[in-house]
Structure 1
Amino acid sequence: MKNNTLVTEFVLSGVSSNPKLQLPLILLCTLVYLVTLLGNIMIILLIGMTPGLQTPMYFFLMNLSFVDILYSSSITPNLIVNIFSENKVISIIACAIQMFLFIDLGSTEGMMLAAMAYDRYVAICKPLNYTVIMNKVTCIALVCSVYTAGCVNSLIHTCAAFSLPFCKSNHINHFYCDINPILRLSCKDTYINEALLFVVAGLIEVGSFLCIVISYIYILFTIFRIGSSTGRSKSFSTCISHFTCVALFYCPIFSMYLRPNSAYAVDQDWVVSVFYTVIIPMLNPMIYSLRNQDVKKALVQFNVNMIRCIWV
């Protein structure tokens, strides 16, 4: 320990060191980020301004879009700056803040998807009691619980990670401050941190995923008991958008984090990291806009109203 220098700042490796790729990557990331912002803001505005979308399902969707905006903003702008800049230094405080936001918003999104799955379960399996069960107080309580649990989860991991001494190196072999690359820089045993990652994060993510799976098992049994093919098709259509978002979110999450730190491989995980930090927040509003008839109708009506306002 006497021969080691304690780290006071980190250096991110970035996405690519090839100068020829800098401009295309900057343009691509900027375009994706702008589409993410516009798409999710549009979803929020549509739900907030359309009386027909004032239901629990769209209340959760509006919060999902809000989380996606913050989720993308915690990574993508810094990624764009780092691609352009030769100096990719980030202070320990800034790195800790980025890690906190990333873990907080990532876990919040997973739990928000679970809340949406529960909403679909009640709507399809208990339709007569839907308005009673999914009342305004219940919806607000669920959303507040999701935000609180995400914040507590992130606080535990961030405090545990940055309480470690960093003296091996200050080079993070990643394009943002993720927990696994940070732990690899510590000159102290990270067994407790890995255990926390498996227990706390695993409990939240796996628990949310199990809630989704159980909800969909009940939903499928209920749908198959519907005699009318039209009724089955209508029930399926209300779930397909949500199920697509779930699949896109949880597949990379499980492959990245529910494994030992010794199995971490940057070369294999770089593409996965870009997908779930940059691409997924852009895809969610597209999926709900293209697959949901109510959202499409509201979008058409919104455009008509905008044209009328401009014309007048």
Structure 2
Amino acid sequence: MSGTESATGRTAVFERYRGLLFGVSYDMLGSVADAEDCVQEAWIRWAGDDRSDVRDPRGYLIRTVTNVTLNRLRAARARRESYVGPWLPEPLVTGPDVAEEVERAESVSMAMLVVLETLNPVERAVFVLREVFGLPHAEIAEALDRSEASVRQLAHRAREHVHARRPRFTADSGVRRRLTERFLAACVEGDVAGLKDLLADDVVVLTDGGGKVRSALNPLYGPDKSARFLVGVARGYRKARLDFVDVNGAPGIVLYRDGGDPTTVGLLEADGDRITRIYLVRNPDKLRRLGRAAPGSGPVGSAGS
């Protein structure tokens, strides 16, 4: 393989595809930390031996990271069976470039990643490689060491499964940002009635504390129970700092404790001007990569002002 015989050449090739490999792994796992580990393992395998006979580095690296990630995913699924409370993906801070790429933004959305958790590991790999990254069935079959006919069946089954469970309506980023500001204001002011007006009749609140911090151990359904819970939680955050950031391809918020460490990531899904899903990630293990509060972060009570 011309240009990749040297260590410098192999490094350059790998770096060209690092973002792609991370995207494949993160979409399969819903974990930034695990995806980074899988990419690192793919790099070790790539750099450790002579790759001069590899004619398609991109395909080779995708196959490698897919199989590494599948092994990690199978182990993670076993651990998640004993997870305390709802499991949510590790938040991924994204930039405007992701938000502009509609298909990619949807693939990393909190709602989509929650749906992908309902697939088995191989179905999830096929769905990600086919529906998100557009790989041909033949290439996926080679990556997974399966027949092309088998991959086509898996792709069809996974696609039908996801389409039946994915959110049918999602407000655009501007609407969600305004709803987020109104949502925060109602929570901080203790305005249960005002908050209920923002919530759809079938609203669901999911809070992920992993058994390490206080959170609801079961999903909350309906505007009344959800609003009262959220207002109660907000009482402890009136002096917290917050940032508005793009998280998983959508407007979100990060709340910080006094020391500047992140304590909660919040994301909303909406149908028109009504909030349909609220995701609150509070497990500290999933917030370590978000960093500390920026100097310009404002208090919760200043949201929308």
TM-score normalised by L of structure 1: 0.30
Give the TM-score taking structure 2 as reference length.
0.31
Higher helix share: 1
Q: Which has the higher contact order (CA 8 A, sep 6+)?
A: 1
